[in-house]
Structure 1
């Protein structure tokens, strides 16, 4: 699966990319219709100290793209939450696809 990593006001991190890739690979194993992923890491200058690390992931799948994002205190938490939201959406999509076959 093609995965593009984009950093917005964040310095690139190989560790973060590996962490995200592992999570995405698990999704890909479960949902083989995923074509590619676009990942964005962003920081938000918020006044609240416990948030501001944003992970956005857009998946290319047959039909409309699937998108989720999360704003957490660190990127690992944001990525995990985003992946979890994507999993829910993918599960719904898979069920819909199966009813059309």
Structure 2
């Protein structure tokens, strides 16, 4: 698994990097077929003071790319909400992948009469 954590208008400190890694452990625990993860942390240079910290994740899994983004006043809160969204999407993707393994009609047992 390749992991890239980068910042835009922001220096990624070791504390931020460790926080993102601990939050990503929850996602990779559900689904272990993750190929690549790109995390982008951004401080937007806008006049409005609310919702100026943004976090984005692009998760490359077998058969699909999952993109999630979230904005908040606090970067840590944005990362928390982002990981909640990402966790839901990964679980939904895992369910879709696993639902295709149904037993065929030929293999179903027919009750004897």
> Does TM, scored on the shorter chain, surpass 0.5?
yes
Quote the residue 2:17 is aligned against: 17
Give yes or no for the alignment of 1:30 onto 2:50.
no
Q: Secondary structure of 1:67's partner?
A: strand
**Aligned pairs (5 A) from 1:1-101:** 1-101=1-101
Q: TM-score, normalised by structure 1?
A: 0.92
Higher radius of gyration, 1 or 2: 2
User: Gapped runs of 5+ residues in structure 2?
Assistant: 102-113
Following TM superposition, by how much is the alpha carbon of 1:51 offset from its aligned partner in structure 2, in angstroms?
A: 1.5
CA distance in 2, matches of 1:91, 1:26: 11
For 1:2 and 1:22, the matched residues in 2 are separated by: 16
Q: CA deviation at 1:58?
A: 0.7
Query: Unaligned regions of 5+ residues in structure 1, if any?
Result: none
Give the secondary structure class of the aligned counterpart of 1:65: strand
For residues 88 and 34 of structure 1, the distance between their equivalents in structure 2, rounded to whole angstroms, comes to: 15
The structural deviation recorded for 1:48 is 2.4
With normalisation by structure 2, the TM-score equals 0.83
Which digits, 9 at most, give the CA deviation of each residue in 1:12-62, with x for residues without a partner?
211111000001012111211222210001111223222100000111101
